Amino acid sequence: MSSYILRRLLLMIPTLFGVLLINFAIVQFAPGGPVDQIVAQVQGTADQSTARFSGVAADEVAGDSRGGRGLDPEFLAELEAQFGFDRPAHERFIKMLGDYLRFDFGESFYRDRSVIELIVEKLPVSISLGLWTLLFTYLISIPLGIRKAVRDGSSFDVWTSAIVIVGYAIPGFLFAILLIVLLAGGSYLEWFPLRGLVSENWDELSWPARILDYFWHLTLPVLAMVIGGFAGLTMLTKNAFLEEINKQYVMTARAKGVSERRVLYGHVFRNAMLIVIAGFPAAFVGVLFTGALLIEVIFSLDGLGLLGFEAVVNRDYPVVFGSLFIFTLIGLLLNLLGDLMYVLVDPRIDFETREG
């Protein structure tokens, strides 16, 4: 198993390289970089200031133009040097790789802080959303999926399937808006707060009050994400159990007089849960880094999703590539962890033998 883990760790190197290379190449063709944005701001300021002088155009005030708008070439050169665009693309990419090997992700273009500081600052919010969402999703979906498999075709299976269909049909962000309208002062009740992970006076509260305040703020975001994610896992669990229940070893165990509970949780559970466990790393990464994006925006939660979104909009490339590198690395490590969990649940699985 150790040689398999080593091979997987070594394969992460070209994977990370490929992800960074593809995204770096795409960014080179994306318009509206940081230099262009500052140029647009400067030109907009010039337009507003010269609009007060009748008969005088902004181009006449600014001087020689860049694309029809006057800006000092030395000023443009300074901007490009400030953001590192005064060197060829391949040199910038090689320098970025060298920095990332030392886990030096640079500083944000606009926030005057290092990328790693920003990620560490936003991480608790995203971890809170991700862990609680996964916990409640699995606590609901696995027992419900098992129950649906055992009572397949019954009235319980039918009406719970209707709930699952609703969960499929309604996106998490849309359900979040509905919760705000109904329970967060939108149009009806005002039971829950709309902003932040804790109240402004959180530091002044006692520890029991802090815990209650934390879960008070977390209730609606987590509920919206659970509703959007439990349907798929429920049906996955049900289908996995249905497939195992109809196999020969289950019939043999029943014929020997083994109790139904023993058959279900002693024999079927281990085999049926393999596919559910395999999907855990992808589910964790999805909830932690992508699924929470709109939820963080809607509930004004300053987490990694919102940080990444704002970085892409503002073309804050150090934050974009730094967070991309870290998220990809975490995703690859979690996929490896999923394989190790495979072996833990079922020791008969041997990845080294399969690869050989």
- pLDDT tens digits, residue range 65-78? 344 345 667 767 77
pTM: 0.72
- Calpha distance 307→311 (Å, rounded): 6
* Strand-pair partners of 190: 184
Binned at pLDDT 50, 70 and 90, residue 63 comes out as very low
Give the rounded distance of the alpha carbon of 328 from its chain centre. 11
Residue type, 142: I
Domain 115-355 has CATH 3.50.50.60: no
> Cα separations (Å) of 114 from 5, 120, 143, 314?
32, 10, 44, 16
Those residues with Cβ within 8 angstroms of residue 102's Cβ, 6 or more apart along the chain or in another chain: none
**Domain spans, the chain:** 2-101, 115-355
18 pLDDT more than 50: yes
Say which residue, 44 or 128, is predicted with more confidence: 128
Per-residue pLDDT of 240-293, as tens digits, reads: 888 888 888 888 888 888 887 888 877 788 778 777 776 676 677 766 666 677
> How far is residue 1's CA from residue 140's CA, in Å, rounded to a whole number?
33
CA distance 160 to 168: 12
10 Å CB burial of residue 206 (0-12, 13-18, 19+) is exposed
pLDDT-derived band of residue 62, with 50, 70 and 90 as boundaries?
very low
The three-state (H, E, C) secondary structure of 91-136, written as one string = HHHHHHHHHHHCCCCCECCCCCCEHHHHHHHHHHHHHHHHHHHHHH
What would the pLDDT profile of 130-172 be if each residue is shown by its tens digit?
Answer: 888 888 888 888 889 888 988 888 889 899 888 888 887 887 7
What per-residue confidence (pLDDT) applies to 57?
42
- Average pLDDT, integer, range 291-299: 77
Q: In the chain, what percentage of residues exceed pLDDT 90? A: 2
